């Protein structure tokens, strides 16, 4: 039975609520959740707010520990959690990043209009289902030996592009250019590499998907023009991560971090927050391994992008170039990165953990691709299979109040087991069809687990981030067809 939060919550403004650091012994900073009154009531049910308070106990954490409006219980941090630690005396924790390292999402533009795509949605989705490997334990068409996997881990999406799975323009529109330079394959276990070798270019299971969508409404015309998005345009969203490799990296280093707690005399309120000082050998080695898993995920999404382009070109008897299949942007959700932020009036380098949260950098920021720098970083927020998704844009307010972060999706309301009990796969497929969405999945179970009712309404979540100013709406998307892992 889930618990209900009974601790203190102080209202800061209409969309921010504070758990003061006096709430429990060991809190080194306040904890703040960005949501509205209704969302707060949902967040009270379960462990998410307690996990947020626990994250504020990490050594070296900067004020405040944060959670986005899609907050729900996770491992260590709540999903939706953001925690920024100082380089000189702070820690890094796998529980603030998650098992699916660099689970992320990218959006492909096309020059197809709704009128062109609508008659082909079923055959198009069927082709994507055949041509994009998906599902638990799936093996992909790319077969690599151990030395080549090491190159993938250290070069990321760049490896994929050099291997013929994309273009330089794809790298320019990928967070970090699709590669974290700190990656060192020597920090990744043989078991993790063994799990990763057959899975490159595969989608995985759970909430991962390839979805055909249409731009239902343009909400910020000036920004949409810069993003080359317009009403009735058909786009393709891809959501997946680092597969078994990332999961194994997390598993491996949780053991390392548990030993580090004793070695460095670190006390945390939850063993799921096991951590090590950033500058320690354990912290540096984990950061290097996490960067490898992140690079693997970027390479993975890049290869899937290639399969999607090829399948779409075949479906329309054309080429990806003629169909205008260019990458808008690729953002990651589960990662820690070294970034510069203002703390107590001065600029400091921090290790920003984002777990189920998305970077949302503002206009003029040097890490925003040159093509978008005038308006800010694209933020891609998937919903569920039956409701909207969004493209947002980053803001200066996010830099000031949320360490340049915003939501990553809708956030779960039900566990997967609860969702399975609520509706049969057939019922979910039927309700999606009635909503005009054609769905294929690698397993029947996946459809029920990922039923729209299992999630919060992304429209509500995005309304909060927009009104709070941490990311602004650009376009609203509607699903037409989906391939689930």
pLDDT tens string 399-409: 999 999 999 99
pLDDT in tens, 179-199: 999 999 999 999 999 998 899
Residue 314: in which H helix or E strand, if any? Answer: helix 281-316
State mean pLDDT over 206-214. 92
Q: Known catalytic residue: 155?
A: no
Both 145 and 238 in one domain: the answer is: yes
CATH number of the CATH domain containing 316: 3.90.1860.10
pLDDT in tens, 70-123: 999 999 999 999 999 999 999 999 999 999 999 999 999 999 999 999 999 999
Both 114 and 149 in one domain: the answer is: yes
Q: Is residue 23 part of a domain?
A: yes
Q: Is residue 3 part of a domain?
A: no
Both 54 and 141 in one domain: the answer is: no
Question: Do residues 436 and 11 lie in contact, with contact meaning Cβ atoms separated by under 8 Å?
Answer: no
Question: Could you tell me the residue range of the domain that residue 31 belongs to?
Answer: 10-94+340-355
Q: 155, 353, 408, 466: which one is catalytic?
A: 408
Sequence-separated (6 or more) residues with CB below 8 Å from residue 289: 184, 187, 188, 192, 249, 252, 253
Q: Is residue 394 part of a domain?
A: yes
Both 114 and 90 in one domain: the answer is: no
Both 299 and 413 in one domain: the answer is: yes
The structural domain count of the chain equals 2
Q: Is residue 1 part of a domain?
A: no
Prediction pTM value:
0.96
Both 222 and 79 in one domain: the answer is: no
pLDDT in tens, 380-399: 999 988 899 999 999 999 99
Does position 1 have pLDDT exceeding 50, yes or no?
A: no
d(CA 461, CA 281): 39
Both 172 and 211 in one domain: the answer is: yes
pLDDT level of residue 318 (50, 70, 90 thresholds): very high
Q: Is residue 381 part of a domain?
A: yes
Task: Give the lowest-confidence range in 15-24, 128-137, 230-239, 390-399.
Answer: 128-137
Both 251 and 286 in one domain: the answer is: yes
Question: Do residues 188 and 344 lie in contact, with contact meaning Cβ atoms separated by under 8 Å?
Answer: no
pLDDT in tens, 109-155: 999 999 999 999 999 999 999 999 876 666 678 888 888 999 999 99
Both 194 and 138 in one domain: the answer is: yes
Q: Is residue 4 part of a domain?
A: no
pLDDT in tens, 449-460: 888 888 889 999
Tokens of 279: 């500058």
């Amino acid at each position: 039975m889930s618990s209900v939060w009974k601790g203190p919550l102080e209202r800061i403004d209409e969309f921010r609520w504070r758990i003061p650091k006096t709430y429990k012994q060991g809190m080194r900073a306040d904890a703040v959740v960005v949501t509205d009154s209704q969302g707060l009531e949902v967040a009270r049910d379960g462990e998410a707010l307690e996990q947020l308070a626990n994250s504020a106990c990490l050594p070296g954490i900067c004020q405040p520990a944060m959670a986005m409006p899609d907050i729900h219980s996770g491992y260590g941090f709540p999903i939706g959690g953001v925690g920024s630690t100082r380089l000189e005396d702070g820690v890094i924790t796998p529980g603030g990043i998650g098992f699916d390292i660099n689970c992320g999402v990218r959006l492909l533009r096309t020059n197809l209009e709704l009128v062109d795509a609508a008659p082909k949605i079923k055959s198009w989705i069927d082709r994507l289902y055949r041509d994009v490997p998906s599902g638990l334990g799936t093996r992909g068409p790319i077969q690599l030996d151990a030395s080549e996997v090491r190159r993938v881990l250290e070069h990321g999406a760049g490896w994929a592009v050099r291997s013929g799975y994309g273009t330089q323009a794809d790298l320019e529109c990928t967070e970090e250019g699709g590669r974290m330079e700190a990656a060192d394959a020597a920090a990744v276990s043989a078991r993790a590499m063994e799990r990763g070798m057959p899975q490159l270019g595969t989608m995985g299971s759970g909430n991962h998907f390839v979805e055909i969508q249409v731009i239902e409404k343009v909400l910020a015309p000036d920004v949409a023009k810069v993003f080359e998005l317009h009403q009735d345009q058909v786009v393709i969203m891809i959501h997946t991560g680092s597969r078994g490799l990332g999961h194994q990296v997390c598993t491996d280093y949780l053991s390392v971090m548990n030993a580090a707690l004793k070695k460095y005399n670190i006390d945390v309120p939850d063993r799921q927050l096991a951590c090590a000082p950033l500058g320690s050998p354990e912290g540096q080695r984990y950061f290097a391994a996490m960067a490898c898993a992140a690079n693997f995920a970027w390479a993975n999404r890049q290869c899937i992008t290639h399969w999607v382009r090829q399948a779409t070109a075949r479906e329309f008897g054309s080429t990806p170039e003629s169909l205008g299949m260019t990458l808008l942007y690729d953002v990651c959700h589960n990662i820690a990165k070294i970034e510069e932020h203002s703390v107590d009036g001065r600029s400091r380098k921090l290790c920003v953990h984002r777990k189920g949260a998305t970077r949302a950098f503002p206009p003029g920021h040097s890490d925003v691709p040159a093509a978008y720098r005038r308006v800010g970083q694209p933020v891609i927020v998937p919903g569920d299979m039956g409701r909207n998704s969004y493209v947002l844009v980053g803001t200066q307010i996010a830099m000031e109040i949320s360490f340049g972060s915003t939501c990553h999706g809708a956030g779960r309301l039900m566990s997967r087991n609860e969702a399975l009990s609520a509706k049969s796969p057939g019922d979910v497929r039927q309700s999606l069809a009635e909503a005009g969405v054609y769905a294929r999945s690698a397993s029947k179970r996946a459809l029920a687990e990922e039923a729209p009712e299992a999630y919060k309404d992304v429209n509500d979540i995005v309304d909060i981030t927009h009104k709070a100013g941490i990311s602004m709406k650009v376009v609203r998307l509607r699903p037409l067809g989906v391939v689930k892992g």
